[in-house]
Amino acid sequence: MSPMPSRRALLAGTAALALAPRARAGDDAPLRIGSFTVKRLQDGLFPLEPRMIPGAESEEGRVLLARAGLPPAGPSAEPVNAFLVRQQDRAWLLDAGCGTVFGPGFDRVAGALATEGIDPARIEAVWLTHLHADHAGGLLTPEGRARFPAAELVLQEAEAAYWGDPASRARAPAEMALFFDTAQAVLAAYADRLRRVRGEAVLAPGAAFLPLPGHTPGHAGVTLEDGTDRLLIWGDVVHSRILQFPHPDWTVIWDADKAQAEATRRGIFDRAAAEGLTVAGMHLAARGRVERRGGGYAFTV
Ligand SMILES: [Zn+2]
């Protein structure tokens, strides 16, 4: 079974779009974190099927989906996000969406940037949470060239090493070929301005990576902090708000190391709940806070 949504599933997802939870008014207003302004850029919506979160192929999964007003067998329409981070006249991008890798229905980041009045040449760096195609595909034009002509591409050393290593590809399921092709095309297109960093590397004053490994070896979120304001944009810690807050043990089929992904998710849920952190994610429609609820967690916006 393909680990990726098939083209047919993506098209079927247009039905799921009508079921997409409506973001609360104001959710998409730019968020100010001290002197930073953060804007969610939605690249598209993809239909998440329970088979992509195998724990959800269960009575409990069907109940959670039905309780959310969705068909018990899914799918749920989940966003693919990038984020624009601005500070005075500086502009950075956090991930870049799918580009044209997954066909029609995506690649809206470029238009969203234009709406914000940002020319791609003004992006000084792209901070990449990981090299999956729904985050890195948008770094390329349809012709496969660098879409951000002046941007440094910053990512974790472990991430660049994994996707650039022929041995990783040889070990991975054949269905991951498109992910490897995209990752390697991105690494090649930005080869002369790649910045490989380790750990909690500083990205700009007040902005730093936070390693959250498991989904991929070098998967990392980004923290923004200025004065008493803080935001964590945690990449792919969660693919389904409906399913994975009550069940942090439900991993996605794309997780490279499922045990590590689960441990990372529980750890950052606990930390976010304890610190009252505002969090946002690449597959969350709104920013919010994590709290403990029952044996699991809940996300409140
Ligand atoms: Zn993703």
> DSSP states of 50-83 as a string?
GGGSGGGSSHHHHHHHHHTTS-TT--EEEEEEEE
Residue 191, φ and ψ in degrees, nearest 5: -55, -35
282: CA distance to ligand 1 center in Å? 6
247's CB contacts (< 8 A; 6+ apart) are 55, 56, 60, 64, 296
52 C-alpha to center of ligand 1: Å? Answer: 12
Give me the pLDDT at residue 29, please.
87
Q: How far is the CA of 171 from the centre of ligand 1 (A)?
A: 21
Tell me the CA–centroid distance for residue 261 and ligand 1, in Å: 13
Domain contains 21: no
Q: Give the residue ranges of DSSP H helices in the chain.
A: 7-17, 59-67, 109-115, 133-136, 157-164, 166-171, 177-189, 241-244, 258-275
Strand pairing category for 202-204 and 207-211: antiparallel
Q: Which residue has the tokens 């002046």?
A: 150
Residue 118: the pLDDT is 97
Query: Would strands 220-226 and 207-211 be described as parallel, antiparallel, or unpaired?
Result: antiparallel
Please state, in angstroms and rounded to a whole number, the distance separating the CA atoms of residues 254 and 65: 21
Dist. CA 42 → ligand 1 center (Å):
12
Which domain covers residue 150, as residue numbers?
A: 28-300
CA of 203 to the centre of ligand 1 (A): 21
DSSP state of 218: T
Q: Has residue 64 been placed in a domain?
A: yes
In a domain, 294, yes or no: yes
Res 45: pLDDT: 96
Residue 97 Cα to ligand 1 midpoint, Å, equals 9
In a domain, 216, yes or no: yes
The C-alpha R_g of the chain, in whole angstroms, comes to 18
Nearest to 268 by CA among 301, 229, 238, 300: 238
**Distance from the alpha carbon of residue 283 to the mean position of ligand 1, in angstroms:** 7
Q: Is residue 16 part of a domain?
A: no
User: How confident is the prediction along the chain (301 residues), in pLDDT tens digits per residue?
Assistant: 334 554 444 444 444 444 444 444 445 789 999 999 999 999 999 999 999 999 999 999 999 999 999 999 999 999 999 999 999 999 999 999 999 999 889 999 999 999 999 999 999 999 999 999 999 999 999 999 999 999 999 999 999 999 999 999 999 889 899 999 999 999 999 999 999 999 999 999 999 999 999 999 999 999 999 999 999 999 999 999 999 999 999 999 999 999 999 999 999 999 999 999 999 999 999 999 999 999 899 999 9
Classify residue 18: in a domain, yes or no: no
Q: How many angstroms is it from 227 CA to the middle of ligand 1?
A: 30
What pLDDT is stored for residue 21 in this prediction?
A: 47
Find the CATH number of the domain harbouring 67.
3.60.15.10
User: What is the distance in A from the centroid of ligand 1 to the CA of 122?
Assistant: 25
Q: How far is the CA of 102 from the centre of ligand 1 (A)?
A: 12
pTM of the model: 0.92
The Å distance, Cα 284 to ligand 1 centre, comes to 10
Joined tokens for residue 100: 């044209």
pLDDT value for 28 = 74
Is residue 19 included in any domain, yes or no? no
What separation in Å is there between the alpha carbon of 129 and the centre of ligand 1? 9
Q: For residue 274, what pLDDT is reported?
A: 97
Query: What are the residues whose beta carbons fall under 8 Å from the beta carbon of 66, sequence distance 6 or more?
Result: 72
294, with CB counted inside 10 A (0-12, 13-18, 19+), is exposed
**Residue 43 within any structural domain of the chain:** yes
Residues 245 and 265: their CA atoms lie apart, in Å, by 9
Domain count along the chain:
1
Q: Of all residues in the chain, what percent are helix, strand and coil, respectively (each to 5)?
A: 35, 25, 40
